[in-house]
Structure 1
């Protein structure tokens, strides 16, 4: 590996090579694909259905925002060799680590409910009872964890997330009119409160707290070093582009399907989104394509949030906390992993209103975001040279993260009172 980790004498982050990328590919792309989860796809669908192409510009602007935040996790993990929770504990004490991790676990459970609700919706489209769908999901994800290593689970997550690209094909099949796209792209109703609420909702969903914990832990678990940073940045950049292209594709597809037909409206459920896209693809093909893409998004997100909760709680309690350890050496890790899955499945089977729940999850994520982003920024400022966040880029990062946190909080409050 030495030939793939040549050190840049000026930065110490190593130099990029495609061969090196093939070896490291995973943490950045998986974190980003998980960000395009069931809730995010519903938000993108609403954006296109209600405002046509007027929120398309935002999906492009959010690419660098995603990269800026997640790149910091690459630095922290590769330079320190420690997870986000471990660094918080070491730097600021056990109390703050406990606050961050416990709140994170609650947020992960909330996110998992959204993913499982989405999967149950896909099952309902096929006339499969929710309890059967949930039993299959819990069994499959549990079997994956207890029989696989981190590398094998990473491959499964990448495979599931890859199905999200079908939405790009859907956007093409929708035949959006270039002139209309261009006209609405620059037509921004900046004084409309409903429009601003969706702007905030899109921004508030960009940096999920569990993404920060997941990517940093994955960097550590893959054994990355400072000389891997340059290549892992590319992995992260690819993920940021792919996930926002998927979001943009959903906006385009729903806008083309509904706006052109004069049927603008709100899409709150899996069934409603599927029905909106059926005219674009046809009844049978439409359901298959939509089901595959939506299920892929929900599965990769379910894997990420469940692993993140189990990893961080296991580490906080001083137990084994990786997939490469057997159940006997990591009891808290596997117990948390299984417990979170079962709890999520139970809520869905009990008939919890997933749409109403999404509002609560959004509020919770918004409240957690200042803590996670705050620690992310402060920890990056404490890294040794030349990896420390400093100079002009430090100012850019501070401004971008502050705006993201502020708009995330706004989205949460707006969702709570709407």
Structure 2
């Protein structure tokens, strides 16, 4: 949790960038749906917010923590607060970018993390800006590395049957920790390989969006049929959830395919 708090540095970045409230509201209302590049980024944004593997992580984490039905309310609040904070940080990043070099018509080249840092930090003072940006990136990257690696280790454990819990000592669950470390090492090698991380990230997020109909569809079916009777989706709420899934997943698929075909 302490590591994740570093991401709040992006909120500070958004504040000190002095965004124009009128411009923020205008940006919220402006949706150039005829722009294929915009739709591609919309799909990437959806895929970054609702990642299929995060659903698997969530259920594995619930099991690993040993939560019971009476913990359901607290778990829902935990998830809701986390979702709101995550989106607040994402909004802060977008606002900070638009309020700084976006004012110049987006002339800065943003193909690498270093270029983003170099374009953003001068507006906050070089030293202070570098520190804030580094803290935000450190928090985001460490949390992502831990979560993704745990998801892989938990998921493979559920499929293969090897012990897969953080409650187990490495000697008790060697395969679990081996997979966890292997994913971390593979990720480090990929980052250090020189691949364009911006294009890779956007591409992976679009892939996430394209997978949403399958993942969210099965999740909805489970919520309707597999949960205990008192916890199943029912009535008007089930209809609202279904419509939300269809609209979100549909927009993600439409934006992703439109952007891919335009390329």
Separation (CA, whole Å) in 1 of partners of 2:211 and 2:174 = 27
Checking the alignment, whether the CA contact within 8 Å between 2:40 and 2:256 is kept in structure 1 is no
1:277 aligned residue: 120
Shift of 1:363: 4.6
2:157 aligned residue: 314
Checking the alignment, whether the CA contact within 8 Å between 2:6 and 2:139 is kept in structure 1 is yes
TM-score, normalised to structure 1, is 0.58
Alignment of 1:346-385 (within 5 A): 346-382=189-225, 383-385=227-229
For 1:152-196, what per-residue CA distance to the aligned partner results, in whole angstroms no more than 9, with x for missing partners? xxxxxx111111111111111011122333334333334333333
Shift of 1:314: 1.5
Checking the alignment, whether the CA contact within 8 Å between 1:362 and 1:415 is kept in structure 2 is no
2:249 aligned residue: 405
Alignment of 1:383-394 (within 5 A): 383-394=227-238
Shift of 1:411: 4.1
Separation (CA, whole Å) in 1 of partners of 2:172 and 2:96 = 48
Alignment of 1:145-224 (within 5 A): 158-224=1-67
Shift of 1:386: 1.5
TM-score, normalised to structure 2, is 0.90
Separation (CA, whole Å) in 2 of partners of 1:258 and 1:331 = 48
Separation (CA, whole Å) in 2 of partners of 1:416 and 1:193 = 9
Cα gap change, 1:229/1:306 in structure 2, threshold over 3 Å: closer, same or farther?
A: same
Shift of 1:381: 0.7
SS in 1 for 2:178: helix
Task: Note the residue ranges of structure 2 that are not aligned, 5 or more in a row.
Answer: none
1:396 correspondence with 2:240: yes
Shift of 1:360: 4.3
SS in 1 for 2:231: coil
Shift of 1:414: 4.4
Cα gap change, 1:258/1:352 in structure 2, threshold over 3 Å: closer, same or farther?
A: closer
Shift of 1:270: 0.9
Alignment of 1:239-318 (within 5 A): 239-264=82-107, 267-318=110-161
Give aligned pairs, total: 261
Equivalent position to 2:177, from 331, 334, 348: 334
> Pairwise CA RMSD of aligned residues?
2.1
Shift of 1:400: 1.1
Shift of 1:300: 0.2
